[in-house]
Structure 1
Amino acid sequence: KPDCPVHPTELVFALDQSRGVSKRDFERMKDMVASLLRGVRVRENSCPVGARVAVLSYDSRTRHLIRFSDTYKKSRLLREVEALPYQESADGGEVGRAMRFIARNVFKRTLPGPHARRIATFFSSGQSADAQAVTTATMEFSALDIVPVVIAFGPVPAVRRAFAGPGTRGGEGRGGERFEHSGPARRALLWGQGSAASTGFRIDDTGTFQVIMVPSGADHSPALERLQLCTFCHDVCKPDAACQEARPPSPQSYVDAAFLLDSSRQVDAAEFEGMRVFLAALLDHFEVSEEPETSVTGDRVALVSHAPLHFRPDTQKSPVRAEFNLTTYRSRRLMKRHMAESVQQLNGDAFIGHALQWTLDHVFVGTPNPRRSRAIFVISAGETSHLDRETLRKESLRAKCQGYALFVLSLGPAWNDKELEDLASYPLDQHLVQLGRIHKPDLRYSVKFAKSFISSLRRKS
């Protein structure tokens, strides 16, 4: 298509040069990159039309081969790709680490425009052992609006588990191959054997993340043509009818979630307002139960503020203000109205551990019809009181041992690494977001990252 991509696009290719990748495999990767590039308009100057292209290679490390700043005419770019040398490596291929490197170091700046797109295509020779890094990278890609594509020459179970959304389903492909879709076919075509694992994280609920299996000897042309038509050339305003496919309803699991809001004296007015904005935006990603007391379907949300003035551990005063519990409201609208009209800063000293203890004892215990997944979101803007540190350590351990997932959003320039590590669930990269250390916090990123975390909780029963 001469107008492909329709929108300004940053396009990254990452070639697997790890142990076990033959020269033939590497040449095949380059041929696929060249085939895909021939069908797109390459950006050759400062005019934001077409695609900026970067190419990297990876094994246990990631290396730049062609940078965005290396502005080439398309003919020269194709020659540069063709000339990329094959190099043997003794290191394994860590695609998760490569994904995180590209998210953090290559996609540094977003192209201007509401429909600007970022797509990263990774070639993989087979299994990657860094399953945790793949999951974390998937969450970061989701938060940064980066569309990842993995073209695999062999099984990549860690990637498939991370990419598989709640709508995953299976079917039979040509030649007896088995394929799966995760969301609309235009964006998520998974070629491979078997179905996605029934356990593990399922981060992507948008249908944009994709794995394409191209076993040795298989004709990859149809898969690449569809990838180009439905992903690289995708028009968000006028999607191609050939790429549309109805997404069937899927079994859903639900969440009981409690938010611990830091409204202590160490939170300034701007930070407190930012926290309320974050909460209101994150509520949009919960399917709030219409009958929270009696129904077994739908999410339920509670909000607890801490810490009231003059609270001390040796008094009878409550360490929190209970804004609403899991069964108070039956709609997001009512919750947001409460946040806007009733939530006020308490201006006491921070006692996060005591607030967590109160939440465990009073929010979840005794509530009918508990959901399969239980999460506590801790929103903090500084350290807890020195009188609270031991309680925080004990109560966070207690929560984890009882099966609660602890997600921590830490804002502002003051923090305690040991405290955050004690508080958040493991792995920390998937349960801890720290913002505002140097620059103004990007709450949009934190909302989208937390959305990925919520999706990970919604595993099928």
Structure 2
Amino acid sequence: MRGLLCSPLPMLLFLLQPWETQLQFAGPRCRSGPLDLVFVIDSSRSVRPFEFETMRQFLVGLLRGLDVGPDATRVGVIQYSSQVQSVFPLGAFSRREDMERAIRALVPLAQGTMTGLAIQYAMNVAFSVAEGARPPQARVPRIAVIVTDGRPQDRVAEVAAQARARGIEIYAVGVQRADVGSLRAMASPPLDEHVFLVESFDLIQEFGLQFQGRLCGKDLCTEGGHGCQHQCVSAPGTFHCACNPGYQLAADNKSCLAIDLCTQGTHGCEHHCISSPGSYFCRCRAGFVLQQDQRSCRAIDHCSFGNHSCQHECVSTFAGPRCHCREGHDLLPDGKSCEARDLCNGVDHGCEFQCVSEGLSYRCLCPEGQQLQADGKSCNRCREGHVDLVLLVDGSKSVRPQNFELVKRFVNQIVDFLDVSPEGTRVGLVQFSSRVRTEFPLGRYGTAAEVKQAVLAVEYMERGTMTGLALRHMVEHSFSEAQGARPRALNVPRVGLVFTDGRSQDDISVWAARAKEEGIVMYAVGVGKAVEEELRQIASEPAELHVSYSPDFGTMTHLLENLRGSICPDKETQA
């Protein structure tokens, strides 16, 4: 606290000066930083009219020493007595002339002295953002200058402490009868810098000079040592740090951190957001290119470049072009050429005999002498009943080895149209020349594949032609249950098929007749020099259905259809 006393002569000279000349504070305008400055003026009845006019001129003179503007110092004025009145808020005027005009139009309230009420109004209203104060995050100093001439009629200590706690710096100026204790209770520390006491309103300009000195003190930013990474913003007696655009102040209030706009979730990038200080840009994943909107991504069409060399089709992938073959084709190891696929090896075709691949499809074939059925897969076989079939094959010297191989192939073609199984058709094979040999009996093999493999393994005997001996062996042994024939009680047909190329060297009549008597249905197939009379003697009646002949081994396959129709008669024929 300090008192300001003047000798009579200087005082007289001062009073003789015009008001506005007296109160023009020397020195440049305060440009140390923006402020939100509110004057709280006591206009109670104790302030006489000429004293109030002095206070009004004091305010005008003080304004002229401030750098006033929306981005510099904003000024508001309130007056109080028993009530509080806003002369103009912080955001009302940006020109000094408008402020001066409002101050000159002030009319005192001339009532009590409710200083605590005025401080509360300043804290809750005058320094609100709605009234024009800048928000706290802007870090603009808030300063209240309270000018009073008496003792408050309400409590000021508690409300002043609340105001200071909210960051309002309070200067308390007492004139004449002001209570020093109340001034100290209102002001911010240190008190010797924030409490002023003058003996009369005539001397209040001394406070103006000192107050202006406070506001326009040293620029701490220019003296260095502030530690701000980007910007130092000076304020009266203090400073604060600020960051460049795209950065935000760190917890130490000095360092600056780049603002990661990507983390805010508003970037709109389809794939990746890459942050840079105060900005960002979008990036696409590999295999994509950024669209014109700089946010969305489009897959790169590698095939459109025209250098893929694919034989059929090009498919663009993230890694580049990839060749693809049309249906029914497979890609070759070079990754570009295509080869027609063998569907028979790649699908479950279901063909009973043979599958033939044809382009994008396939078809089934049947053995010669058999026809493809309506399902397009199966071949006509003896499926109308069970048969025990014994084949007597001539292995004499006249047949010769190469023709014997043709005979074995012919036998297997017969097997192809049979439904070979233990419950279906059973097949046995006997070879004869000068002697008789059972190659395999009826009960040995249960599938056509096994029978055919066994036929191919038969070795050529190459001797005489004892057809009668072979017929006897068939009757006495081949159709016995011991050899695999089914019991007669089951009524399974017994069929014998004799294959020969010449005249028999023994009598055939007895055992040919005996075979028929035993219920064996006999078929005779002759080739080359076979004797028709013997063939008819061997075969069952009628001979037209049971005798077949081919002039040579190379053309005997045409007999298969006749044999199929005979050995496998239609149901109507059986009926």
Q: Is the TM-score greater than 0.5?
A: no
TM-score by length of 1: 0.40
- The structure where strand makes up a greater share of residues is 2
TM-score by length of 2: 0.32
More relative contact order, 1 or 2 (CA 8 Å, 6+ apart): 1
Larger Rg: 2
